[in-house]
Structure 1
Protein backbone atom coordinates (compact mmCIF):
# COMPACT_ATOMS: atom_id res chain seq x y z
CA UNK A 1 0.00 0.00 0.00
CA UNK A 2 1.50 3.32 -1.09
CA UNK A 3 1.90 6.01 1.59
CA UNK A 4 -0.61 8.84 1.70
CA UNK A 5 0.53 11.91 -0.25
CA UNK A 6 2.15 14.63 1.84
CA UNK A 7 -0.12 17.54 2.70
CA UNK A 8 1.37 20.84 1.57
CA UNK A 9 0.47 24.46 2.17
CA UNK A 10 1.82 27.72 0.79
CA UNK A 11 2.17 30.53 3.33
CA UNK A 12 2.77 34.20 2.60
CA UNK A 13 3.55 36.20 5.72
CA UNK A 14 5.04 39.59 6.55
CA UNK A 15 8.58 39.52 7.95
CA UNK A 16 9.81 43.13 8.04
CA UNK A 17 12.90 44.38 9.88
CA UNK A 18 10.67 46.23 12.36
CA UNK A 19 7.64 43.92 12.38
CA UNK A 20 7.27 40.14 12.46
CA UNK A 21 3.61 39.30 11.85
CA UNK A 22 2.28 37.35 14.90
CA UNK A 23 -0.58 35.83 12.90
CA UNK A 24 1.94 34.55 10.37
CA UNK A 25 3.85 32.76 13.10
CA UNK A 26 0.61 31.32 14.47
CA UNK A 27 -0.42 30.12 11.02
CA UNK A 28 2.96 28.46 10.40
CA UNK A 29 2.84 26.73 13.79
CA UNK A 30 -0.74 25.53 13.27
CA UNK A 31 0.05 24.16 9.81
CA UNK A 32 3.04 22.24 11.16
CA UNK A 33 1.03 20.81 14.03
CA UNK A 34 -1.64 19.77 11.53
CA UNK A 35 0.86 17.77 9.49
CA UNK A 36 1.43 20.15 6.58
CA UNK A 37 4.71 20.67 4.76
CA UNK A 38 4.97 24.44 4.35
CA UNK A 39 6.24 26.37 1.34
CA UNK A 40 7.03 29.51 3.36
CA UNK A 41 7.20 32.86 1.54
CA UNK A 42 8.32 35.68 3.86
CA UNK A 43 7.42 39.15 2.57
CA UNK A 44 10.47 41.09 3.67
CA UNK A 45 9.71 44.65 2.55
CA UNK A 46 6.68 46.90 2.75
CA UNK A 47 6.68 47.25 -1.05
CA UNK A 48 6.73 43.46 -1.49
CA UNK A 49 3.91 43.09 1.01
CA UNK A 50 1.77 45.77 -0.66
CA UNK A 51 2.40 44.28 -4.10
CA UNK A 52 1.34 40.82 -2.88
CA UNK A 53 -1.86 42.16 -1.31
CA UNK A 54 -2.72 44.11 -4.45
CA UNK A 55 -2.08 41.09 -6.67
CA UNK A 56 -4.27 38.82 -4.51
CA UNK A 57 -6.94 41.43 -3.82
CA UNK A 58 -6.58 41.04 -0.05
CA UNK A 59 -6.18 43.59 2.73
CA UNK A 60 -4.13 41.58 5.22
CA UNK A 61 -1.45 38.97 5.64
CA UNK A 62 -0.77 36.15 6.27
CA UNK A 63 -2.46 34.34 3.41
CA UNK A 64 -2.55 30.54 3.21
CA UNK A 65 -3.06 28.42 0.10
CA UNK A 66 -3.85 24.69 0.26
CA UNK A 67 -4.28 22.48 -2.83
CA UNK A 68 -4.25 25.56 -5.06
CA UNK A 69 -7.08 27.23 -3.14
CA UNK A 70 -6.67 30.40 -1.11
CA UNK A 71 -7.85 29.65 2.42
CA UNK A 72 -7.34 33.17 3.77
CA UNK A 73 -5.73 34.38 6.98
CA UNK A 74 -5.06 32.74 10.34
CA UNK A 75 -8.68 32.77 11.50
CA UNK A 76 -9.80 31.35 8.15
CA UNK A 77 -7.17 28.61 8.51
CA UNK A 78 -8.49 27.66 11.94
CA UNK A 79 -11.98 27.44 10.50
CA UNK A 80 -10.73 25.35 7.55
CA UNK A 81 -9.00 22.91 9.90
CA UNK A 82 -12.07 22.62 12.13
CA UNK A 83 -10.49 24.49 15.06
CA UNK A 84 -12.49 26.75 17.37
CA UNK A 85 -12.66 30.33 16.14
CA UNK A 86 -12.84 33.05 18.82
CA UNK A 87 -15.90 35.26 18.61
CA UNK A 88 -15.76 38.53 20.55
CA UNK A 89 -19.56 38.77 20.54
CA UNK A 90 -20.15 35.40 22.22
CA UNK A 91 -21.04 35.43 25.90
CA UNK A 92 -18.59 33.54 28.07
CA UNK A 93 -17.98 32.89 31.75
CA UNK A 94 -14.33 32.02 31.09
CA UNK A 95 -12.83 35.41 32.16
CA UNK A 96 -14.40 35.31 35.62
CA UNK A 97 -13.79 31.57 36.04
CA UNK A 98 -10.09 32.19 35.39
CA UNK A 99 -10.08 34.81 38.16
CA UNK A 100 -11.65 32.49 40.71
CA UNK A 101 -9.45 29.53 39.74
CA UNK A 102 -6.25 31.58 39.96
CA UNK A 103 -7.38 33.11 43.28
CA UNK A 104 -8.09 29.63 44.62
CA UNK A 105 -4.70 28.32 43.54
CA UNK A 106 -2.97 31.36 45.05
CA UNK A 107 -4.81 30.73 48.31
CA UNK A 108 -3.74 27.09 48.38
CA UNK A 109 -0.15 28.05 47.67
CA UNK A 110 -0.17 30.72 50.37
CA UNK A 111 -1.70 28.31 52.86
CA UNK A 112 0.95 25.71 52.08
CA UNK A 113 3.72 28.27 52.54
CA UNK A 114 2.28 29.66 55.77
CA UNK A 115 0.86 26.54 57.45
CA UNK A 116 2.52 23.58 55.75
CA UNK A 117 -0.80 22.37 54.34
CA UNK A 118 -3.18 23.62 51.68
CA UNK A 119 -6.41 22.55 53.37
CA UNK A 120 -6.98 25.26 55.98
CA UNK A 121 -9.79 27.63 56.82
CA UNK A 122 -7.41 30.47 56.05
CA UNK A 123 -7.10 29.18 52.48
CA UNK A 124 -10.84 29.70 51.96
CA UNK A 125 -10.61 33.23 53.33
CA UNK A 126 -7.65 33.98 51.09
CA UNK A 127 -9.42 32.53 48.05
CA UNK A 128 -12.26 35.03 48.45
CA UNK A 129 -10.06 38.01 49.31
CA UNK A 130 -7.55 37.29 46.53
CA UNK A 131 -10.49 37.08 44.10
CA UNK A 132 -11.76 40.45 45.34
CA UNK A 133 -8.37 42.02 44.65
CA UNK A 134 -8.05 40.42 41.21
CA UNK A 135 -11.55 41.53 40.20
CA UNK A 136 -10.82 45.05 41.46
CA UNK A 137 -7.59 45.08 39.45
CA UNK A 138 -9.49 44.20 36.27
CA UNK A 139 -12.01 46.97 36.92
CA UNK A 140 -9.25 49.51 37.58
CA UNK A 141 -7.59 48.83 34.22
CA UNK A 142 -10.29 50.94 32.60
CA UNK A 143 -12.45 52.67 35.18
CA UNK A 144 -14.41 54.58 32.54
CA UNK A 145 -15.47 51.42 30.74
CA UNK A 146 -16.32 49.71 34.04
CA UNK A 147 -18.34 52.65 35.32
CA UNK A 148 -20.35 52.86 32.10
CA UNK A 149 -21.43 49.22 32.37
CA UNK A 150 -21.89 49.44 36.15
CA UNK A 151 -24.33 52.32 35.75
CA UNK A 152 -26.60 50.05 33.71
CA UNK A 153 -27.74 48.22 36.83
CA UNK A 154 -26.24 49.37 40.14
CA UNK A 155 -28.92 51.14 42.17
CA UNK A 156 -26.60 53.38 44.21
CA UNK A 157 -24.44 54.36 41.24
CA UNK A 158 -27.54 55.48 39.36
CA UNK A 159 -28.36 57.90 42.17
CA UNK A 160 -24.76 58.89 42.92
CA UNK A 161 -22.57 58.51 39.82
CA UNK A 162 -19.20 58.91 41.63
CA UNK A 163 -19.92 55.60 43.37
CA UNK A 164 -19.31 53.85 40.03
CA UNK A 165 -15.72 55.15 40.21
CA UNK A 166 -15.33 54.49 43.94
CA UNK A 167 -16.52 50.87 43.80
CA UNK A 168 -13.36 49.16 42.43
CA UNK A 169 -11.13 51.06 44.87
CA UNK A 170 -13.42 50.07 47.74
CA UNK A 171 -13.39 46.42 46.65
CA UNK A 172 -9.59 46.41 46.46
CA UNK A 173 -9.28 48.14 49.84
CA UNK A 174 -11.59 45.63 51.53
CA UNK A 175 -9.72 42.69 50.03
CA UNK A 176 -6.28 44.02 50.99
CA UNK A 177 -7.35 44.86 54.55
CA UNK A 178 -8.81 41.38 54.98
CA UNK A 179 -5.65 39.73 53.67
CA UNK A 180 -3.49 41.84 55.98
CA UNK A 181 -5.81 41.44 58.97
CA UNK A 182 -5.91 45.20 59.48
CA UNK A 183 -8.73 47.61 60.37
CA UNK A 184 -11.35 44.89 60.60
CA UNK A 185 -14.11 47.39 61.25
CA UNK A 186 -13.37 49.22 57.99
CA UNK A 187 -12.94 46.06 55.90
CA UNK A 188 -16.20 44.64 57.29
CA UNK A 189 -18.08 47.85 56.66
CA UNK A 190 -16.91 48.16 53.07
CA UNK A 191 -17.56 44.49 52.24
CA UNK A 192 -21.05 44.49 53.75
CA UNK A 193 -22.01 47.79 52.15
CA UNK A 194 -20.84 47.23 48.57
CA UNK A 195 -21.73 43.53 48.65
CA UNK A 196 -25.29 44.12 49.85
CA UNK A 197 -25.95 46.98 47.43
CA UNK A 198 -24.48 44.95 44.57
CA UNK A 199 -26.50 41.83 45.36
CA UNK A 200 -29.77 43.79 45.57
CA UNK A 201 -28.97 45.58 42.30
CA UNK A 202 -28.28 42.32 40.44
CA UNK A 203 -31.39 40.62 41.83
CA UNK A 204 -33.56 43.56 40.75
CA UNK A 205 -32.03 43.92 37.29
CA UNK A 206 -31.83 40.23 36.35
CA UNK A 207 -34.38 38.32 38.37
CA UNK A 208 -37.14 40.94 38.87
CA UNK A 209 -36.86 43.27 35.86
CA UNK A 210 -35.63 40.39 33.60
CA UNK A 211 -33.06 42.60 31.90
CA UNK A 212 -30.33 41.08 29.75
CA UNK A 213 -27.10 42.92 30.57
CA UNK A 214 -23.36 42.42 30.53
CA UNK A 215 -21.61 42.07 33.87
CA UNK A 216 -19.03 44.71 34.82
CA UNK A 217 -17.45 42.33 37.34
CA UNK A 218 -14.32 41.70 35.25
CA UNK A 219 -13.90 45.28 34.13
CA UNK A 220 -16.51 45.71 31.42
CA UNK A 221 -14.41 44.56 28.45
CA UNK A 222 -15.86 41.05 28.18
CA UNK A 223 -19.19 39.43 27.39
CA UNK A 224 -19.87 37.90 30.79
CA UNK A 225 -23.65 38.02 31.29
CA UNK A 226 -24.94 39.78 34.38
CA UNK A 227 -26.49 37.32 36.79
CA UNK A 228 -25.16 34.43 38.81
CA UNK A 229 -21.47 35.41 38.63
CA UNK A 230 -21.94 39.01 39.77
CA UNK A 231 -24.40 37.90 42.42
CA UNK A 232 -21.85 35.35 43.68
CA UNK A 233 -19.15 38.04 43.82
CA UNK A 234 -21.35 40.30 45.95
CA UNK A 235 -22.64 37.54 48.20
CA UNK A 236 -19.06 36.37 48.79
CA UNK A 237 -18.16 39.85 50.04
CA UNK A 238 -21.17 39.84 52.33
CA UNK A 239 -20.22 36.38 53.59
CA UNK A 240 -16.65 37.52 54.27
CA UNK A 241 -17.93 40.53 56.20
CA UNK A 242 -20.24 38.38 58.31
CA UNK A 243 -17.52 35.80 58.89
CA UNK A 244 -15.18 38.50 60.18
CA UNK A 245 -17.92 39.82 62.48
CA UNK A 246 -18.38 36.32 63.90
CA UNK A 247 -14.62 35.85 64.40
Structure 2
Protein backbone atom coordinates (compact mmCIF):
# COMPACT_ATOMS: atom_id res chain seq x y z
CA UNK A 1 0.00 0.00 0.00
CA UNK A 2 1.47 3.33 -1.08
CA UNK A 3 -0.06 6.64 -0.14
CA UNK A 4 0.68 9.37 -2.65
CA UNK A 5 -0.52 12.89 -1.87
CA UNK A 6 1.56 14.65 -4.51
CA UNK A 7 -0.21 17.76 -5.76
CA UNK A 8 -2.45 17.98 -2.69
CA UNK A 9 -2.41 20.92 -0.28
CA UNK A 10 -3.16 20.15 3.37
CA UNK A 11 -4.09 22.59 6.12
CA UNK A 12 -3.51 21.16 9.60
CA UNK A 13 -4.68 23.51 12.33
CA UNK A 14 -2.68 23.82 15.57
CA UNK A 15 0.21 22.02 13.90
CA UNK A 16 3.30 23.45 15.59
CA UNK A 17 3.63 20.49 17.96
CA UNK A 18 2.12 17.28 19.27
CA UNK A 19 -0.43 15.37 17.24
CA UNK A 20 -0.89 18.27 14.82
CA UNK A 21 2.77 18.39 13.87
CA UNK A 22 2.94 14.60 13.54
CA UNK A 23 -0.01 14.73 11.13
CA UNK A 24 1.61 17.52 9.12
CA UNK A 25 4.84 15.52 8.91
CA UNK A 26 3.02 12.35 7.89
CA UNK A 27 1.15 14.15 5.12
CA UNK A 28 4.37 15.84 3.95
CA UNK A 29 6.16 12.49 3.80
CA UNK A 30 3.45 11.37 1.36
CA UNK A 31 4.09 14.36 -0.88
CA UNK A 32 1.52 16.90 0.28
CA UNK A 33 2.16 20.63 0.43
CA UNK A 34 1.57 21.76 4.03
CA UNK A 35 -0.03 24.79 5.65
CA UNK A 36 1.18 24.98 9.23
CA UNK A 37 -0.89 26.92 11.73
CA UNK A 38 -0.03 28.25 15.16
CA UNK A 39 -0.62 31.22 17.40
CA UNK A 40 2.86 32.75 17.42
CA UNK A 41 5.60 33.53 14.93
CA UNK A 42 8.22 31.82 17.11
CA UNK A 43 6.42 28.47 17.37
CA UNK A 44 5.60 28.49 13.67
CA UNK A 45 9.21 29.23 12.71
CA UNK A 46 10.40 26.37 14.92
CA UNK A 47 7.83 23.97 13.43
CA UNK A 48 8.74 24.96 9.89
CA UNK A 49 12.44 24.39 10.59
CA UNK A 50 11.67 21.02 12.15
CA UNK A 51 9.44 19.95 9.24
CA UNK A 52 12.03 21.04 6.68
CA UNK A 53 14.62 18.91 8.46
CA UNK A 54 12.31 15.89 8.65
CA UNK A 55 11.03 16.12 5.06
CA UNK A 56 13.60 17.91 2.87
CA UNK A 57 12.04 19.68 -0.07
CA UNK A 58 8.55 19.93 1.41
CA UNK A 59 6.66 23.07 0.42
CA UNK A 60 5.40 24.85 3.55
CA UNK A 61 3.10 27.79 4.15
CA UNK A 62 2.76 29.28 7.63
CA UNK A 63 -0.35 30.94 9.00
CA UNK A 64 -0.46 32.72 12.37
CA UNK A 65 -3.99 32.65 13.78
CA UNK A 66 -5.85 31.85 16.99
CA UNK A 67 -8.90 29.88 15.86
CA UNK A 68 -10.93 30.55 19.01
CA UNK A 69 -12.88 33.31 17.29
CA UNK A 70 -14.45 34.12 13.93
CA UNK A 71 -11.83 36.83 13.44
CA UNK A 72 -9.04 34.32 13.98
CA UNK A 73 -10.47 31.97 11.37
CA UNK A 74 -10.85 34.87 8.93
CA UNK A 75 -7.20 35.73 9.51
CA UNK A 76 -6.17 32.17 8.72
CA UNK A 77 -8.24 32.03 5.55
CA UNK A 78 -6.64 35.15 4.07
CA UNK A 79 -3.96 34.27 1.57
CA UNK A 80 -4.38 30.50 1.78
CA UNK A 81 -3.68 28.42 -1.31
CA UNK A 82 -6.52 26.19 -2.51
CA UNK A 83 -6.92 23.49 0.14
CA UNK A 84 -7.55 19.83 -0.69
CA UNK A 85 -7.19 18.42 2.83
CA UNK A 86 -8.44 20.06 6.02
CA UNK A 87 -7.46 18.56 9.36
CA UNK A 88 -9.33 20.28 12.20
CA UNK A 89 -6.88 19.64 15.03
CA UNK A 90 -7.16 22.92 16.96
CA UNK A 91 -8.60 22.41 20.41
CA UNK A 92 -8.28 23.14 24.10
CA UNK A 93 -8.75 20.91 27.11
CA UNK A 94 -8.42 21.00 30.87
CA UNK A 95 -9.84 19.53 34.05
CA UNK A 96 -12.56 21.52 35.81
CA UNK A 97 -15.27 20.72 38.31
CA UNK A 98 -18.63 20.96 36.53
CA UNK A 99 -19.95 23.48 39.06
CA UNK A 100 -17.01 25.78 38.31
CA UNK A 101 -17.46 25.79 34.53
CA UNK A 102 -19.09 29.15 33.90
CA UNK A 103 -20.76 30.30 30.69
CA UNK A 104 -17.62 32.05 29.49
CA UNK A 105 -15.58 28.85 29.68
CA UNK A 106 -18.32 26.84 27.95
CA UNK A 107 -18.29 29.44 25.19
CA UNK A 108 -14.49 29.34 24.89
CA UNK A 109 -14.51 25.56 24.43
CA UNK A 110 -17.37 25.74 21.96
CA UNK A 111 -15.75 28.44 19.85
CA UNK A 112 -12.34 26.76 19.73
CA UNK A 113 -13.20 23.08 19.57
CA UNK A 114 -16.38 23.19 17.49
CA UNK A 115 -16.88 26.50 15.70
CA UNK A 116 -13.33 26.63 14.31
CA UNK A 117 -14.12 23.45 12.37
CA UNK A 118 -17.55 24.75 11.36
CA UNK A 119 -16.09 27.95 9.97
CA UNK A 120 -13.17 26.34 8.14
CA UNK A 121 -15.37 23.62 6.64
CA UNK A 122 -17.91 26.20 5.49
CA UNK A 123 -15.15 28.17 3.77
CA UNK A 124 -13.13 25.32 2.25
CA UNK A 125 -15.66 22.62 1.34
CA UNK A 126 -17.10 24.44 -1.72
CA UNK A 127 -13.77 24.25 -3.59
CA UNK A 128 -13.37 20.58 -2.71
CA UNK A 129 -16.89 19.75 -3.90
CA UNK A 130 -16.39 21.74 -7.11
CA UNK A 131 -13.13 19.89 -7.74
CA UNK A 132 -14.69 16.51 -6.99
CA UNK A 133 -12.11 15.53 -4.39
CA UNK A 134 -11.29 16.53 -0.84
CA UNK A 135 -10.75 15.33 2.70
CA UNK A 136 -11.97 16.85 5.96
CA UNK A 137 -10.92 15.27 9.26
CA UNK A 138 -11.91 16.31 12.77
CA UNK A 139 -9.49 15.31 15.54
CA UNK A 140 -11.96 14.40 18.24
CA UNK A 141 -11.15 12.23 21.27
CA UNK A 142 -12.18 9.06 23.05
CA UNK A 143 -13.65 11.57 25.52
CA UNK A 144 -16.39 12.11 22.93
CA UNK A 145 -17.64 8.59 23.68
CA UNK A 146 -16.31 8.23 27.22
CA UNK A 147 -17.18 11.62 28.74
CA UNK A 148 -14.80 12.45 31.62
CA UNK A 149 -16.56 13.56 34.80
CA UNK A 150 -13.77 16.08 35.42
CA UNK A 151 -13.89 17.50 31.86
CA UNK A 152 -17.58 17.54 30.95
CA UNK A 153 -17.21 20.70 28.86
CA UNK A 154 -14.37 19.14 26.86
CA UNK A 155 -16.25 15.88 26.33
CA UNK A 156 -19.37 17.69 25.13
CA UNK A 157 -17.35 19.66 22.57
CA UNK A 158 -15.71 16.48 21.29
CA UNK A 159 -19.06 14.70 20.94
CA UNK A 160 -20.30 17.69 18.96
CA UNK A 161 -17.43 17.19 16.53
CA UNK A 162 -18.64 13.66 15.80
CA UNK A 163 -22.11 14.95 14.99
CA UNK A 164 -20.68 17.75 12.86
CA UNK A 165 -18.45 15.40 10.86
CA UNK A 166 -21.29 12.93 10.27
CA UNK A 167 -23.65 15.70 9.19
CA UNK A 168 -21.11 17.21 6.80
CA UNK A 169 -20.38 13.78 5.30
CA UNK A 170 -24.09 13.52 4.45
CA UNK A 171 -24.16 17.10 3.20
CA UNK A 172 -21.42 16.42 0.61
CA UNK A 173 -22.57 12.87 -0.19
CA UNK A 174 -21.60 11.69 -3.65
CA UNK A 175 -19.25 14.61 -4.28
CA UNK A 176 -15.94 12.76 -3.95
CA UNK A 177 -15.27 14.60 -0.68
CA UNK A 178 -15.12 12.59 2.54
CA UNK A 179 -15.55 13.83 6.10
CA UNK A 180 -14.47 11.74 9.08
CA UNK A 181 -13.50 11.97 12.73
CA UNK A 182 -10.44 10.42 14.36
CA UNK A 183 -10.62 9.74 18.10
CA UNK A 184 -7.25 9.52 19.87
CA UNK A 185 -7.04 8.17 23.40
CA UNK A 186 -4.22 8.85 25.87
CA UNK A 187 -1.30 10.00 23.72
CA UNK A 188 2.34 10.88 24.35
CA UNK A 189 1.84 14.44 23.14
CA UNK A 190 3.82 17.57 23.99
CA UNK A 191 1.00 18.60 26.31
CA UNK A 192 1.16 15.35 28.25
CA UNK A 193 4.95 15.63 28.47
CA UNK A 194 4.65 19.14 29.92
CA UNK A 195 2.05 17.96 32.39
CA UNK A 196 4.38 15.17 33.56
CA UNK A 197 7.56 17.26 33.73
CA UNK A 198 7.53 17.71 37.50
CA UNK A 199 6.59 14.09 38.06
CA UNK A 200 9.50 12.92 35.91
CA UNK A 201 11.89 15.00 38.04
CA UNK A 202 10.32 13.82 41.29
CA UNK A 203 10.23 10.10 40.51
CA UNK A 204 12.99 9.66 37.96
CA UNK A 205 10.56 7.63 35.86
CA UNK A 206 10.45 7.90 32.09
CA UNK A 207 7.57 9.64 30.31
CA UNK A 208 6.51 6.31 28.82
CA UNK A 209 6.37 4.67 32.26
CA UNK A 210 4.33 7.50 33.74
CA UNK A 211 2.01 7.42 30.74
CA UNK A 212 1.45 3.70 31.19
CA UNK A 213 0.69 4.23 34.89
CA UNK A 214 -1.77 6.98 33.97
CA UNK A 215 -3.52 4.73 31.46
CA UNK A 216 -3.79 1.84 33.89
CA UNK A 217 -5.12 4.10 36.64
CA UNK A 218 -7.39 6.42 34.66
CA UNK A 219 -8.26 4.35 31.56
CA UNK A 220 -8.08 0.73 32.80
CA UNK A 221 -10.25 -0.49 29.91
CA UNK A 222 -7.32 0.18 27.54
CA UNK A 223 -6.54 -2.89 25.45
CA UNK A 224 -2.98 -1.87 24.55
CA UNK A 225 -2.36 -0.79 28.18
CA UNK A 226 -0.16 2.14 27.24
CA UNK A 227 -0.37 5.55 25.68
CA UNK A 228 -0.22 5.87 21.92
CA UNK A 229 2.51 7.82 20.17
CA UNK A 230 1.63 10.89 18.14
CA UNK A 231 2.89 9.02 15.08
CA UNK A 232 0.38 6.22 15.67
CA UNK A 233 -2.44 8.75 15.69
CA UNK A 234 -1.03 10.50 12.63
CA UNK A 235 -0.88 7.22 10.69
CA UNK A 236 -4.65 6.87 10.90
CA UNK A 237 -5.18 10.48 9.86
CA UNK A 238 -2.84 10.20 6.88
CA UNK A 239 -4.70 7.12 5.63
CA UNK A 240 -8.08 8.85 6.02
CA UNK A 241 -6.72 11.82 4.05
CA UNK A 242 -5.51 9.61 1.22
CA UNK A 243 -7.19 8.45 -2.00
CA UNK A 244 -7.11 4.93 -0.55
CA UNK A 245 -9.82 5.82 2.00
CA UNK A 246 -12.41 6.84 -0.60
CA UNK A 247 -15.05 4.41 0.76
CA UNK A 248 -14.77 5.77 4.31
CA UNK A 249 -16.90 8.80 5.11
CA UNK A 250 -19.01 9.82 8.07
CA UNK A 251 -16.99 7.50 10.30
CA UNK A 252 -15.69 7.94 13.83
CA UNK A 253 -12.35 6.12 13.75
CA UNK A 254 -10.81 5.32 17.11
CA UNK A 255 -7.08 5.35 17.84
CA UNK A 256 -7.79 5.02 21.53
CA UNK A 257 -6.02 1.76 22.30
CA UNK A 258 -9.40 0.16 22.97
CA UNK A 259 -10.31 2.47 25.87
CA UNK A 260 -13.91 2.79 24.67
CA UNK A 261 -15.38 -0.58 25.63
CA UNK A 262 -17.54 -1.56 22.69
CA UNK A 263 -17.11 -3.46 19.44
CA UNK A 264 -18.34 -0.87 16.93
Same fold, TM-score > 0.5, yes or no: no
Q: Which TM-score applies when normalising by structure 2?
A: 0.26
Structure whose CA Rg is larger: 1
Structure with larger RCO (C-alpha < 8 A, sep 6+): 2
Q: Which TM-score applies when normalising by structure 1?
A: 0.27
